[in-house]
Structure 1
Amino acid sequence: MYRFLAVDSLLHRAANEKLRTIPTKQHRSLRAVGHHLGVSHTTVRRLIKDKQIRVSANSLKPLLKPHNAHHINYCLEFVEHSNDVCKFNPMYSDVHLDRKWFWLDELTKTIYLGIDKEEPMRACHNTNFRTKVMFLCAVARPRLVVATGAWFDGKIAM
C-alpha cells in the first residue's frame, strides 16, 4: 500500500513538471496528455480527479479593435470624476441625431381585394437591391427658453 502512495506522489510531481514543458497545443485531449506523460489516459483521468491536473475550458474572447476602442473612449468621455465618485454627464445641452432606414417597398405585402379585383403587378430588377430611404431626426432635451418664456419641446426636425 505504501509503495503505491510513493509511486502516486512521484507520478504527480512528474506530471506537473512534464506538463510545463509540453506546448499547450499538444494537450487538447486525454490521450494526447497521456501520450506525452508516458501514462495511459485512465491515469490522466485519475490525476484530474486527484486535482493534480486542472481542466480548463478556454473560450475565445472578442478582440477590441481600434475602431471599437474609439467608441468606448467616446462613451468614457461622458463619465465625470469628482471626489472618488464617478457619475455620467446628464447631457442637458446635447442634441442627438438618429437615422432610420426604411425599404421603399416591402418584399411581401398583404393586400385585401374584392372578389372580382385583380392582384396588382409588383416587380423590381433584383430583390437584393431594393430602394432604401433614410429619415434623419434630431432630438434635444426639453427646456425653458429664457428669452420667450416658452418651453422648447426638444423636437428639432424629422
Structure 2
Amino acid sequence: MTIEDVSKCLGVSKSKIMRFMRKGLIRRHYNKIKPYLTAANKKTTLQWCVDMIDPDSTSDDPHFKDLFDHVFINEKWFFLTQKSSKYYLMPEEDDPHRTSKSKNYIPRLMFLCITARSRFRDGVCIFDGKLRIFPLVTYEPAKRNSVNRRVGTIEIKPITHITREVIQKFMIENVLSLLKQNGLEKTWTNRSTLFKTMHHLMSMLMILHFVRRLSKEDGTLG
C-alpha cells in the first residue's frame, strides 16, 4: 500500500496524509509474512532452545553453551542474472546487452557459507568466525574448440541438481579439510555439532557420519 492508496481510501490529499504522519495520527508499518507454526513446530523450537542450555550449569543459574564446538552451515541460491535490471549510464554509453536462452529458466548457482564462533586470546581476535563461502560448481575441460575458448580450457559449471550425495562429497572433501586448516579440529569434542538449514538435502545420519569422521581424525573418538 502506498501514500496514494491511503489518500484515495480516505478521500484526502497526499499532503494531508503526510501531515497526519508527522503528527503521529497515522503510522507507517512494514509487515512481513511469518511462517505458520503448528503446536508440534512450537514444541520442536522450544526443545531446540532448551537443548542449547549447558548441562553442566546449575538450575539456579543456567546459561547457554559456549558454541565453541559448533559449526554453522547455510546455503543460498543466486540467479546468474535477472529478467530486468536498472542501470545508470553516461549519455554516450551503449545500453547493456544481456542474453539468456530462456528468461523463465535463468541458471542459478548455490553458495555454501561456513561460519563458527570467534576466538579471542588476551583480548585479541585470533579467529573472526568467517571460514569460507563455497560455490557449488564443477571444473571441467572444454570438449571442443569455439570462438570463446580452445579445447581443454577449464570451464566453471554450476551444479544445478543438488542431492544428498553431492552435499556429502562436498562436506567431506572441502569443509572437513577447511576446518583442519584453520585449526578448529582442536576445539571439537564428543559433543561436536553441525547446525545448518539444509534439512531437505542432508539427513541427521549424514551429519553424524561427518562429525564422527572429523572426531576420529582428531582422535577425540575411539
| TM-score bracket, shorter-length normalisation | 0.3 to 0.5
Q: Larger Cα Rg: Structure 1 or Structure 2?
A: 1
Q: TM-score, normalised by structure 2?
A: 0.33
TM-score, normalization: structure 1? Answer: 0.43
